[in-house]
Amino acid sequence: MSPVSIQTVGIIGTGVIGASWTALFLAKGLKVIVTDPAPGAEDRLREYLQSHCSEVPNAQVSLKDCLSNLTFVKELDALLGKVDLIQENGPERLDFKRRLFAHLDENTPEHVLIASSSSGLPSSEFVTDCKKNPARILIGHPFNPPHLVPLVEVVPHSATGSEYVDAAYEFYRGLGKEPVLVKQETPGFIANRLQAAVCAEAYSLISRGVVSAEDLDKTMTSGLGLRWALTGPIMTNTLGGGGSFTHFMDHLGPALQGWLGDMEKHKFDFSSRQVESVKDKVDDWVSHLDLKEIEANRDTFLGDLVANKQK
């Protein structure tokens, strides 16, 4: 069965990610039915929405309308027949997800898209007990916080139907998100792998005393990151090659290989000695900072940046 136009979204789990998804969906005018078994979850969610719905870049409805489009239900089963798409944000435990997805699959109409926010578990591992229509299950992995950062990694398992992949992609895109398609299930998908590559080298440089933790971060926020907010690594290479990626690779590939060789030699090994050395240096720096203020500034700036890019 084909997926249908999505009017009502079901949210399972209202931790950091689930609450932020809820703010996004509401601000874009969707009806959202939410469930979370944790005590006090509804109050915490409503409080979160009060301060965050209006941060959504290019929000389409007022805060008042956001809140009136929200329904919180105590029992998961109360939402299963009423939604066109489920965005799942439960704990990252395989046994839990396997049982949950078997239940979701069995108790929702066949056409309902089911997306998991999982960052760690590939969906092939938790659809194993789904009998009805596992083809409509996939990963829609957001980048935190989803109501501000456009990226969503769409990761089908090998039996996800292409019509459901397309429907998820278009759904997210219609909300102003920037979906990317991860064509093979790969540990860490794309973003976390690129991030891990940077972190490993960052930890090595800091633990070896080549650069302070503060200056390492500044290298990113005042240089690389500014560029990468606008042109990705491949386009940056291409422009650096005078408009030709081939030219870049032919002329700068050898330098790149040289640096990578030296990085390999000094690879961060996650030994407790190296880990402690980085922790000490980072803690020394961070202890002088007002993290609440940094986080608030980041979110304001991120919202402006995204709204500006969408213009």
294 is a contact residue toward a second copy (CB under 8 A): yes
- Closest separation between CB of residue 52 and a second copy, Å? 16
124 is a contact residue toward a second copy (CB under 8 A): no
Question: 97-103: long-range contacts at Cβ-Cβ below 8 A with a sequence spacing of 24 or more?
Answer: 97/121, 97/125, 97/126, 98/125, 98/126, 98/128, 98/129, 99/129, 100/12, 100/126, 101/126, 101/127, 101/129, 101/130, 101/137, 102/129, 102/130, 102/131, 103/76
Candidates 37, 81, 91, 120: give the one binding a second copy (CB under 8 A): 120
Query: Count residues contacting a second copy (CB under 8 A)?
Result: 96
- Closest separation between CB of residue 78 and a second copy, Å? 32
Active site residue 153: yes
Which range touches a second copy (CB under 8 A), out of 23-31, 51-59, 70-78, 145-153? 145-153
193 is a contact residue toward a second copy (CB under 8 A): yes
223 is a contact residue toward a second copy (CB under 8 A): yes
Nearer to a second copy, 75 or 262 (CB): 262
Which range touches a second copy (CB under 8 A), out of 20-28, 63-71, 126-134, 234-242? 234-242
- Closest separation between CB of residue 87 and a second copy, Å? 17
Spatial separation of the C-alpha atoms in residues 32 and 264, rounded to whole Å: 48
Nearer to a second copy, 67 or 151 (CB): 151
Q: Nearest CA to 119 among 196, 10, 24?
A: 196
14 is a contact residue toward a second copy (CB under 8 A): no
Q: Nearest CA to 3 among 137, 196, 184, 177?
A: 137
Candidates 54, 245, 277, 307: give the one binding a second copy (CB under 8 A): 245
213 is a contact residue toward a second copy (CB under 8 A): yes
Nearer to a second copy, 27 or 155 (CB): 155
How many CB atoms neighbour CB 112 within 10 A? Answer: 25
Q: Which of 55, 75, 153, 295 is catalytic?
A: 153
Which range touches a second copy (CB under 8 A), out of 40-48, 83-91, 157-165, 257-265? 257-265
Spatial separation of the C-alpha atoms in residues 217 and 281, rounded to whole Å: 13
Q: Which of residues 151-170 bind a second copy (CB under 8 A)?
A: 151, 153
Which range touches a second copy (CB under 8 A), out of 50-58, 106-114, 121-129, 239-247? 239-247
Angle between helices 41-52 and 16-27 (to 10 degrees): 50
217 is a contact residue toward a second copy (CB under 8 A): yes
296 is a contact residue toward a second copy (CB under 8 A): no
Which range touches a second copy (CB under 8 A), out of 27-35, 61-69, 130-138, 146-154? 146-154
Candidates 40, 75, 184, 293: give the one binding a second copy (CB under 8 A): 184
Angle between helices 191-207 and 272-286 (to 10 degrees): 90
The residues annotated as belonging to the active site are: 153
